[in-house]
Structure 1
Amino acid sequence: MTFDASPRPELPRRLILGSTSRYRRELLQRLGLPFDCEAPQVDETPQPGEAPRALAERLALAKARDVARRHPETIVIGSDQVADLHGQPLGKPLVHARAVAQLQQMSGQTVVFHTAVAVVCEALGLEARQVAEVRTRFRTLSASEIERYLLAERPYDCAGSAKSEGLGISLLEAIDNDDPTALIGLPLIRTCAMLRDAGLQIP
């Protein structure tokens, strides 16, 4: 019996998105890489006095680490986004009344969205993270505009109660960022860089 001793190309490592967010899943699909999704088991409660950027970074890394512990040979992506209004974190409103209150607070204000992404692979000893900051300036919004928007788009699962990729763009005066998909929930430029460092080919 003859054995082929020639070197064989290594198969790329499996990739998992440590999130159940459909927005992040749709963004990651743009890269054309096969991946699975798995929900991380992480307490997202802010720590006392924790700044919004630090909260987003800590949670992104915690989510990636949690899934990576269960799949040590796999490359895992974790991500988190926190809206920052003058140093105060704004999370997902979940219900209509809280979304109204958030948009009333944000009306006429500059809000910074901190979108953190972490890539972890225990087998490679890899643990990397980055944070993209997106500065948004909201128009002065009337009560009727807020109500019409929320009833039309129902963005109750979005930090800051608005979807910039949809009708929420009409609430804004300006967006300033260096990673265009960060506001939607996953900064793909930064994600690509870290995945390449992990050995994946993109494109």
Structure 2
Amino acid sequence: MKIDIILASGSQYRANLLKQLQIPFRCISPNINETQFIDEPPYEYVKRLSLEKANNVAKKNTGSWVIGSDQIALFQNKVLGKPLTKAKAISQLSQFSGNHVEFLTGVSLIHNTHKIFLYEESKTDVFFKHLSIKQIDRYLDKDMPYDCAGSFKIESCGSLLFDKVVSEDPSSLIGLPLIIVTKLFDKAGIDLLHVD
């Protein structure tokens, strides 16, 4: 079966994950404003961004299946941004030392012609080891995860920082839960094993 699938993302991490399903797709960056609204609950925030990303791309590609995804990190009920600098990454990881951080990843699937608008969310709990400043500094020099919420890359050596990770979808923490992507296509009546 041939269908046009678009990943509404400029993220190389998400594109690399989707490649694992061995289906043809293309990427289009949605270019949306990702600022959180005042008093917007985290669950609503991640859902809104996921849907906005998919909608933004689906509007111009009405015959395509568009996947939108967004992820936020929550620590002590506060949404964490990407650190962008080493100083901010040190601050984030120092706070996480010996603590628990929750990651919410929302995934949307939209097809405008078929009037399909699906959404599902994945939650991942990350439990950090007690980390010294020396360990944090050494880790940051290795991975430089300044474009990642939470200041780590689990797909690289971020695992060195954790006691455990609890999730129903192992790909969720990287930013695109593949089990959820598959479920959403199943709900839309498409078996991705038959897409080529």
Range class of TM-score, shorter chain: over 0.9
Query: Which residue pairs with 1:149 in the alignment?
Result: 139
Q: Aligned equivalents of 1:199 and 1:74: distance in 2?
A: 15
Q: Aligned equivalents of 2:83 and 2:36: distance in 1?
A: 15
Is 1:165 aligned with 2:148?
A: no
Secondary structure in 2 aligned to 1:169?
helix
Query: Which residue pairs with 1:197 in the alignment?
Result: 187
Q: Aligned equivalents of 1:107 and 1:75: distance in 2?
A: 41
Q: Aligned equivalents of 2:7 and 2:27: distance in 1?
A: 5
Q: Aligned equivalents of 1:14 and 1:198: distance in 2?
A: 14
Matched ranges for 1:59-138 at <5 A: 59-138=49-128
TM-score, normalising length from structure 2? 0.95
Secondary structure in 2 aligned to 1:32?
coil
Q: Aligned equivalents of 2:5 and 2:167: distance in 1?
A: 27
TM-score, normalising length from structure 1? 0.91
Is 1:55 aligned with 2:45?
A: yes
Is 1:175 aligned with 2:165?
A: yes
Q: Aligned equivalents of 1:88 and 1:51: distance in 2?
A: 10
Q: Aligned equivalents of 2:181 and 2:139: distance in 1?
A: 31
Return the letter of the residue paired with 2:76.
H
Instruction: Kindly report structure 1 stretches of 4+ aligned residues shifted beyond 6 Å.
Output: none
TM-aligned CA deviation for residue 195 of structure 1: 1.6
CA RMSD of aligned residues (A): 1.1
Q: Aligned equivalents of 1:129 and 1:160: distance in 2?
A: 24
Return the letter of the residue paired with 2:46.
A
Q: Aligned equivalents of 1:54 and 1:186: distance in 2?
A: 18
Q: Aligned equivalents of 1:63 and 1:116: distance in 2?
A: 11
TM-aligned CA deviation for residue 166 of structure 1: 1.6
Flag the structure with larger Rg.
Answer: 1
**Contact in 2 for aligned 1:52/1:83 (Cα 8 Å):** no
Identity %: 39
Return the letter of the residue paired with 1:54.
E
Secondary structure in 1 aligned to 2:103?
strand
Secondary structure in 1 aligned to 2:148?
coil
Query: Which residue pairs with 1:4 in the alignment?
Result: none
Return the letter of the residue paired with 1:22.
Q
TM-aligned CA deviation for residue 87 of structure 1: 0.9
Q: Aligned equivalents of 1:49 and 1:105: distance in 2?
A: 23
Query: Which residue pairs with 1:20 in the alignment?
Result: 10
Per-residue CA distance 1:40-63 (angstroms, 9 max, x = gap): 021000111223222211101110
Query: Which residue pairs with 1:3 in the alignment?
Result: none
